[in-house]
Structure 1
């Protein structure tokens, strides 16, 4: 939902930046129309059970805050569970592509629960680099032993490859093994 609101330049209706003008303002009717559009988008994306609880809302910001209060909880047990899944995930008998896709889904879900620093300071850059290295190590640790020599080669390279580059290299190796077999 947030992605759609960003794309339509309507986030201000849910974050409070776009305040309701007074009724005698020339912008009042335009604000009401945009607010109604945002309300309808939100209502059309929620379950039927939630819809009956929010159908009478008149303000997108209040509706959003209500939904956020109910559902936007960073749950410690979910955070723990994601770390556990990421740490224990291995390729097993699946393809590298399936393994990487599953790992990427877990990383994306985890990223939605936390806020990574976004300023341009050196500390932020260093943290983001560290975060990317952790992802690379997690990916490499879960690969089958048949990729051990490639794993060692990648870890000896300076600078380390990105996780995307590592996936590409391993995927090419998997394709090559498939052709030889």
Structure 2
């Protein structure tokens, strides 16, 4: 028990700092921030969560003032600068090259880089807000391959508007989501807009996607049914053609009379009883020459 009473308490300083365990910042911040993108809000939100989890949230604030010159104070200052360099690398590794060359400074701290990026995306807010609001109000489902892509674009635009201090509230976002649907979704649009209060954006999105999936399943079933009907019709037509061909030919080696044989009857190509070799067939041959026609008196009468 005595040993346990004399044991020193475990402090955060005596452990490995969480910031030093991050070997690839892309695993926790998968966004690459670009100047023209609308992902600043998402990027900043993920970074703030990561800063808190790694105990370096104070590095996006001004460096603390130090008035003492003691050895302990100097060590704390060195440790802070060491951690600040790690956190600054996180920022540099999650932004585009153009953005990096815009804000990089050899004497910059994490706070300096953070403020520079924030000011860059919040610059000229009024003009950007007008442009984004126009784009938001004219977004339609017909311009996207599916409902998911349409909803994602609306959410990105809403986030961009929030970045320029022109936030879109939940009801406005849902109403725009409904207004941008085409006539194929009139049914669900009517149901959603009649609800009081309006559903959340994600609830409305989920219901519209359910309708989209049902329509896709119905189209698939209809396509399969049409394919089956076409196959049956083709098989029936082929069978009818074969039967018709048999009726025309009477079968192999069968004449019109229905009797089997090599040839056909008198109306066909086969031989008949009146066939004369090497002569033109004449079913009604000329009678023999009569020198005394029946219409005149015979020579014996004179």
Length-normalised TM-score, structure 2 = 0.48
Deviations 1:125-173 (A, max 9, x none): xxx9xx1111110000000022122211222223321121111111111
Look at both structures and tell me which one has the larger radius of gyration over its CA atoms: 2
The alignment partner of 1:19 has SS state of coil
Residue 160 in structure 1 maps to residue 210 in structure 2: no
- Segments of structure 1 that go 5 or more residues without pairing to the other structure are 117-127
- Structure 1 residue 71, shift from structure 2 partner: 4.9
- Structure 1 residue 33, shift from structure 2 partner: 1.0
- Structure 1 residue 42, shift from structure 2 partner: 3.1
Provide the C-alpha distance between the structure 2 equivalents of 1:160 and 1:71, rounded to a whole number of angstroms: 32
Q: Which moved more, 1:103-112 or 1:41-50?
A: 41-50
- Aligned pairs for 1:6-155 within 5 A: 6-9=49-52, 10-16=56-62, 18-22=63-67, 23-24=69-70, 25=73, 26-46=75-95, 47=97, 50-51=100-101, 54-92=104-142, 94-114=145-165, 131-155=169-193
Residue 171 in structure 1 maps to residue 209 in structure 2: yes
Provide the C-alpha distance between the structure 1 equivalents of 2:61 and 2:174, rounded to a whole number of angstroms: 35
Provide the C-alpha distance between the structure 1 equivalents of 2:57 and 2:166, rounded to a whole number of angstroms: 18
Q: Residues 174 and 201 of structure 2 are in contact (CA less than 8 Å); yes or no, is this contact kept in structure 1?
A: yes
Q: Residues 103 and 113 of structure 2 are in contact (CA less than 8 Å); yes or no, is this contact kept in structure 1?
A: no
The alignment partner of 1:161 has SS state of coil
The alignment yields a C-alpha RMSD, in angstroms, of 2.8
Question: Does the C-alpha gap of structure 1 residues 8 and 29 become closer, same or farther in structure 2, counting only changes over 3 Å?
Answer: same
- Structure 1 residue 85, shift from structure 2 partner: 0.8
Q: State the structure with bigger RCO (CA 8 A, min sep 6), 1 or 2.
A: 1
- Structure 1 residue 110, shift from structure 2 partner: 1.8
- Structure 1 residue 63, shift from structure 2 partner: 4.0
Structure ranking higher in helix proportion: 1
- Segments of structure 2 that go 5 or more residues without pairing to the other structure are 1-42, 220-302
Question: Does the C-alpha gap of structure 1 residues 115 and 28 become closer, same or farther in structure 2, counting only changes over 3 Å?
Answer: farther
